[in-house]
């Protein structure tokens, strides 16, 4: 009988190859192909045997379903959509040492007050988990600990009449199914282990937490299908140089996505941060040029962060553009609009942009705040200390309205800000900057073009009027050069 050829499976995308190669042809990953034993039986079709009929029901049913179970950790419950749903599977990923095990141990201890909780560790011994629990002050919690990596043994332990209502698996990359001839952590084992555990959770109705390792790119290791199999995907983020951690939902079948929960890492574990805006602005100085405050939206929560910029002379043929916490392509667009539409020349100067605190911003509403930070750095004039800036910038230089403007202004007023620079309200005619007040008491400066923003910085306004910086590419500069072209 001919020997079955081995196959090489990519550990990132799960693609199978007949021979080893340095690069996966499907996803382009390098050194991701691992040899796995071939399957014993080739999958066949359904054949002539008929299957069991599935019962279909209507969308409107009598049952209301089990209520959500809150853990008592408000930041965690916020990210999960208000609480945990029975029979759901949650995947938590993050960098090594970021605090995934600490977070789930605190969640397990919080749930153990009214629910039987099983914590299964495949990476640490029971004594190591107990040591962490004592450090966190959770030694008296009712959660039960165990170590194991066999999915068969774990299933036999929790699939009982008085089984737990929540199970934590730390981590899914250490689990294995004994019927599959592959090492733990491979694509086949991760997929099969997760599938068996999720199927058991759906059948028994317990809440399943899976801890997932991440790759060097920051994505959860293993096949991409793992994120499709679970109900909720949470990423635990944070910089090692900062004391806070951000729990972000990127998928949630039972709630909104893009919600965040903010925690502060301390000796006693993770502490909730009920007002993250105050944390991100704790070390802010208002008299520094090149910085402004942007009221961003993280899910349904407004969060105020400081955007910092620095413009420096460059001796290089191609000046450097460095961005931390924002999209580099969008920064290139904003600098191009400032130069082409407003005459602020930045082509020969280095531009650095940073979102203070390590938070990453993805919404277009930060365009105007970035432009204000660049204008402040170029002019040396600080933005008004107690003002926030938000708005979307188009390629023509127009400033467009963004969603949740009232929520952003209310958060700014709550933190003591007295002014805001924002797009002109819809239905209000007239060009240029307009001033007014909102119900929160904020003094509003409404603008409809980036030229109106630059007019708020006297050095730039004077330069444009005298043909300085604004004489290159600006509307007024074009008018001044027109007689010279015809002369």
Q: In terms of Cα–Cα distance, which of 86, 50, 81, 47 is closest to 66?
A: 86
Tens digit of pLDDT for each residue in 166-213? Answer: 999 998 999 999 998 888 888 889 989 999 999 999 999 999 999 988
**% residues pLDDT > 90 (the chain):** 50
- Beta carbons within 8 Å of 124's beta carbon, 6+ residues apart: 101, 147, 170
Q: In terms of Cα–Cα distance, which of 351, 373, 379, 412 is closest to 292?
A: 373
Sheet containing 16-17, strands listed edge to edge, beginning at the edge strand earlier in sequence: 16-17, 7-10, 33-36
The full length of the chain comes to 487
CA–CA gap between residue 428 and residue 423 (Å, rounded): 11
Say if residue 480's pLDDT is above 50: no
Task: Give me the pLDDT at residue 222, please.
Answer: 62
Burial label, 294 (beta-carbon count in 10 A; 0-12, 13-18, 19+): buried
CA–CA gap between residue 83 and residue 252 (Å, rounded): 12
CA–CA gap between residue 60 and residue 53 (Å, rounded): 21
Mean pLDDT, rounded, for 115-132: 94
Q: Who has greater pLDDT, 429 or 321? A: 321
| 37 within 8 A of 6, measured Cβ to Cβ | yes
Say if residue 67's pLDDT is above 70: yes
Task: Give me the pLDDT at residue 379, please.
Answer: 92
- Beta carbons within 8 Å of 443's beta carbon, 6+ residues apart: 418, 419, 420, 435, 436, 437
Mean pLDDT, rounded, for 294-322: 90
| 375 within 8 A of 341, measured Cβ to Cβ | no
Mean pLDDT, rounded, for 453-471: 66
pLDDT confidence tier of residue 62, bands split at 50, 70 and 90: low
Consecutive H or E run containing 332 = helix 328-342
- Beta carbons within 8 Å of 242's beta carbon, 6+ residues apart: 357, 358
Outline where 388-486 has alpha helix (H). Answer: 405-414, 450-454, 458-465, 475-486
| Alpha-carbon separation of residue 290 from 39, 392, 433, 449 (angstroms) | 61, 19, 21, 20
Say if residue 406's pLDDT is above 70: yes
Consecutive H or E run containing 210 = strand 207-212
């Amino acid at each position: 009988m001919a020997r079955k050829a081995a196959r090489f499976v990519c550990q990132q995308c799960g693609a199978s190859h007949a021979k080893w190669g340095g690069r996966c042809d499907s996803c382009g990953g390098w050194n991701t192909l691992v040899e796995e034993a071939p399957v014993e039986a080739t999958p066949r079709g359904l054949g002539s045997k008929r299957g069991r009929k599935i019962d279909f029901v209507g969308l409107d049913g009598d049952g209301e379903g089990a209520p959500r179970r809150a853990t008592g950790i408000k930041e965690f419950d916020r990210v999960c959509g208000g609480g945990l749903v029975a029979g759901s599977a949650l995947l938590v990923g993050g960098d090594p040492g970021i605090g995934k095990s600490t977070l789930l141990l605190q969640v397990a201890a919080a749930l153990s007050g009214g629910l039987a909780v099983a914590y299964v560790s495949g990476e640490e011994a029971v004594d190591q988990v107990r040591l962490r629990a004592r450090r966190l002050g959770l030694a008296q919690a009712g959660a039960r600990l165990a170590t194991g990596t066999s999915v068969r043994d774990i299933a036999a332990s929790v699939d009982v009449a008085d089984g737990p209502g929540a199970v934590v698996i730390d981590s899914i990359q250490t689990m294995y199914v004994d019927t599959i001839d592959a090492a733990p952590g491979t694509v086949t084992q991760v997929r099969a282990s997760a599938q068996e555990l999720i199927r058991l959770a759906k059948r028994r109705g317990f809440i399943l937490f899976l801890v997932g390792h991440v790759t060097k790119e920051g994505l959860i290791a293993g096949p991409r299908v793992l994120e499709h199999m679970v109900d909720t995907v949470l990423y635990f983020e944070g910089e090692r140089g900062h004391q806070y951690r951000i729990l972000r939902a990127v998928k949630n079948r039972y709630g909104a996505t893009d919600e965040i929960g903010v925690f502060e890492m301390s000796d006693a574990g993770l502490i909730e941060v009920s007002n993250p805006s105050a944390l991100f602005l704790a070390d802010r100085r208002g008299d520094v040029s090149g910085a402004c405050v942007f009221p961003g939206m993280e899910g349904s929560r407004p969060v105020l962060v400081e955007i910092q910029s620095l413009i420096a002379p460059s001796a290089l043929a191609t000046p450097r553009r460095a961005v931390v916490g924002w999209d580099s392509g969008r920064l290139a667009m904003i600098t191009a609009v400032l130069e082409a539409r407003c005459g602020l020349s930045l082509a020969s100067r280095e531009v650095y942009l940073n979102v203070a605190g390590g938070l990453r911003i993805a919404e277009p509403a930060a365009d105007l705040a970035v432009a204000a930070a660049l204008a402040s750095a170029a002019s040396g004039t600080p933005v008004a200390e107690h003002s926030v800036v938000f708005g979307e910038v188009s390629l023509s230089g127009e400033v467009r309205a963004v969603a949740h403007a009232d929520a952003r202004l209310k958060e700014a007023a709550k933190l003591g800000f007295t002014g805001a620079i924002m797009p002109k309200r819809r239905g209000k005619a007239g060009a240029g900057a307009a001033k007014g007040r909102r119900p929160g008491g904020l003094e509003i400066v409404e603008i409809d073009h980036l030229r109106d923003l630059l007019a708020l910085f006297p050095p730039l306004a004077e330069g444009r009027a005298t043909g300085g910086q604004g004489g290159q590419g600006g509307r007024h500069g074009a008018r001044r050069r027109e007689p010279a072209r015809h002369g």
